[in-house]
Amino acid sequence: MGRVTDYLSLKLENKGSVARDHLANERTYLAWIRTSLSLVTVGVAIRQLYRMTIDLGDDANATSDTTAGDPLAGKVLGVCFVALGMAFVFVGLYRYFHSQLLMTKGKFPVSRTMVGACAVATLALLVGLLVSMFTDEH
């Protein structure tokens, strides 16, 4: 078992801020995972909320129960949030190993494009959710 962990583990001499930098890289990866899980949770919640049935009670105009929103819109938005959450896992994994590789070479990658793309994708889904909420005819 010792040989396997020796092969899989990267061992670096702890000079200067090496340990601190690599631990910060791990914390950043865990933040990507936490964000991913949050997006998946939002996706599942949206899907379930759009499937809910509202009891209209004694309303004179109501003939039966109705759903809380357009089920198709809820399904699409929910799936998109879950897919984005899954993508964040891969982005975080790529970012972790890429940063680790460059830190062993004394460099640090600035991830403007990746962070910008994630922000735009998340914002697009949130705008879609907002539009869905205000165009609901129920």
**CA nearest neighbour of 85 among 115, 50, 27, 42:** 42
**CA nearest neighbour of 42 among 73, 72, 67, 78:** 78
Whole-number pLDDT of residue 26: 94
Q: How confident is the model at residue 64 (pLDDT cuts 50, 70, 90)?
A: low
φ/ψ of residue 100, rounded to 5: -60, -45
Locus of tokens 């699409």: 76
pTM given for the model: 0.76
Locus of tokens 């460099």: 107
Between 3 and 27, whose confidence is greater?
Answer: 27
Q: How confident is the model at residue 70 (pLDDT cuts 50, 70, 90)?
A: confident
Other CB atoms closer than 10 Å to residue 112's CB: what's the count? 8
Q: How far, in Å, CA of 120 to CA of 133, rounded?
A: 20
For residue 52, pLDDT over 60 is answered with yes
